[in-house]
Structure 1
Amino acid sequence: MSVEAATLPLVAIVGPTGSGKSELALQLAEQFNGEAINADSMQFYRGMDIGTAKLPPQDRRGIPHHLMDFLGVREDTTVAAFQRMARDAVADIRSRGRLPILVGGSGLYVRAAVDILEFPGTDQHVRAALESELESVGQPALLARLAEVDPISALRINDGKRVVRALEVHALTGRPFSSFMPERQYLTPTVQIGLNGDRAELHQRLAARVHIMVEDGLLAEVQSLIPQGLREGRTAHKALGYQQFLRVIDGTSTLETATEETIVATRQFARRQLTWFRADPRVKWLDWAQPDLGSAAAALVNATWMSQAQGNTDT
């Protein structure tokens, strides 16, 4: 397809874990001379491969994948830092006349990459004090405090890390965290393709995938990451599967219990992902089981691409 690099849209493939996002990204990358940009926050970590369903290099069909494996398990990053890295990757891919394809189910990270969003700064002392308070009084107490200063965020947030962040932002800026999440507006021409399907089938897929992870050595992977600092890292040890299998290593759980707990937690996570992405009316939903999935997704890309090319011609 002969178009200027400036007309290349950003493609974002979103949806719940286990819906086939990675495979669709490969298909579109092959068809449109594209490169993938990872937007799964747990695939940032080196060595966390089995438990995050990270596509092995030999299965990437020669397609470059950006923003994988750049953190050690002791390290952490921020959504604002990811935003800068993702936008740099998009610009680099476009500069070479290739199509950038963002793929992943971490909703806030996806939105940071595609939308015009402002991220307030951070203060390690304020953050540490709030994290200590979270440990001592628990999430419900902090959530109740958040509801007093930012009821919108309090209704949206369901994990301790994000409660701490919302309270930190209010402490530093005097503004509610929700005020930094304005109306949805793409930074650049973008098409978001969402994958969804039968809920019972998704549950079966997720259960099967967890069992395959266990067979492929998830327990050994978790064990190998402990000397690298898995327990000490603020985020990595909380990943699905890793926290459950750390308890097996500690002797407080069994392999069977950890497996079932991981399946349940993964289903709950998929439900939260769907809730997040369904709230965005711009997502174009496709059924992962439809026989023409690849061509249907390609048609959405083509429509956005041609619309942008026509817009450039008209100006």
Structure 2
Amino acid sequence: MAASSGSGSAGGQPPVIAVVGPTGSGKSDLAVDLALELDGEVVNADAMQFYRGMDIGTAKITEAERRGVPHHLLDILDVNEEASVSDFQRRARAAIADIHRRGRRAILAGGSGLYVRAALDVLEFPGTDPEIRARLERENDAAGTGPLLERLQDVDPVSAARLGDARRIIRALEVFELTGRPFSSFMPSREYFQPAVQIGLDVDRDVLKERLADRVHRMVDHGLLAEVERLDAAGLRRGRTAPRALGYAQFLKVLDGEADVAQAAEETIVATRQFARRQLTWFRADPRITWLGWRDPDLAAKAAALCR
């Protein structure tokens, strides 16, 4: 049975803590601070940090920065594997249950909005059918996305209005054929699966813009191109998720001679700022999040007080 949308604990079970916000806002550091304060462990909810070897370009927290706090769901996939929200939901909930069973606090940290929702909220995932998907992909290759989108408009106008790329349109049609239900009916409601507290990092957008630019330049200085080259040799382009990651998509162009390092860095900065805006829009829409100033000197103490 689902927990209510409130944040109180039930039957002595402590609420899951989630630290959310845009990229570059300090989520990883705050999660570690809370873990040290509350005897907790961190569960990663950044989809691109699932990948082994994608360290520099994802600003993955280092062993030193973890300060001895156990971290879960980092480095669980090879770059040629596809990240799955449903698989993450299963893994994250298992990790959270294990942490709680050992009497510690589970702290979810990440900016991948749907992954956070999958861990925290009542969210059902429809199955897949490779034959249906392959047939729809062949139709898309033959006639383009237009006819598929028209078909989706007839059976699921909500998804048709929301989805723009072929991959998602094909998925929505696959789900309808498989279940007889519109894909939009599987979208999450704001109802917690188990008690939870969400803390959002409230940023100064102008300061964040400059911080993100500085971070990309540091990634370049620390060897982002070499990391992308190494992962390319390991099968990065064969993946469906990893090669689209910020920085990696842009620096693959450098390897292909389509851009130089300066151009790739600038494209990465622009894309990262756009991503941060989308993250803020996503998380701001959730009224259950308590927002704290990212530069508040008492941030860790105020966040811990919310979780006690």
Q: Give your verdict on TM over 0.5.
A: yes
> What is the SS of the residue equivalent to 1:187?
coil
Runs of 4+ in 1 over 6 A off after TM superposition: none
- CA distance in structure 2 between the partners assigned to 1:283 and 1:154 by the alignment: 29
Out of 30, 33, 51, the residue aligned to residue 39 of structure 2 is 33
> What is the SS of the residue equivalent to 1:7?
coil
**Residues 5 and 183 of structure 1: CA distance in aligned 2, closer, same or farther (over 3 Å):** closer
1:166 aligns with 2:172: yes
Counterpart in the other structure of 2:112: 106
What code does the residue aligned with 1:258 have? A
- CA distance in structure 1 between the partners assigned to 2:224 and 2:15 by the alignment: 37
Correspondences of 1:121-200 after superposition (within 5 Å): 121-131=127-137, 142-143=148-149, 145-157=151-163, 159-200=165-206
Aligned length in residues: 300
Counterpart in the other structure of 1:307: none
What code does the residue aligned with 2:260 have? T
Counterpart in the other structure of 2:77: 71
The answer to whether the 8 A contact 1:5-1:95 is kept is no
Deviation readout 1:248-293 (Å, 9 max, x if unpaired): 0000111111101101111111111111111211111112122221
1:19 aligns with 2:25: yes
Out of 232, 244, 251, the residue aligned to residue 245 of structure 1 is 251
Out of 50, 66, 70, the residue aligned to residue 56 of structure 2 is 50
Identify unmatched segments of 5+ residues in structure 2: 1-8
The answer to whether the 8 A contact 1:9-1:189 is kept is yes
Identify unmatched segments of 5+ residues in structure 1: 303-315
What code does the residue aligned with 2:35 have? A
The answer to whether the 8 A contact 2:83-2:241 is kept is no
Deviation readout 1:290-312 (Å, 9 max, x if unpaired): 2221122112112xxxxxxxxxx
Q: CA deviation at 1:136?
A: 6.2
1:119 aligns with 2:125: yes
- CA distance in structure 1 between the partners assigned to 2:131 and 2:289 by the alignment: 38
Correspondences of 1:212-227 after superposition (within 5 Å): 212-227=218-233
Out of 300, 304, 308, the residue aligned to residue 294 of structure 1 is 300
After TM superposition, the structure 1 stretch with the greater mean CA deviation from structure 2, 84-93 or 140-149, is 140-149
Counterpart in the other structure of 1:311: none
The answer to whether the 8 A contact 1:6-1:94 is kept is no
Aligned-residue identity in percent:
63
Q: CA deviation at 1:130?
A: 3.8
Taking only aligned residues, the RMSD between alpha carbons, in angstroms, comes to 2.1
- CA distance in structure 2 between the partners assigned to 1:84 and 1:140 by the alignment: 35
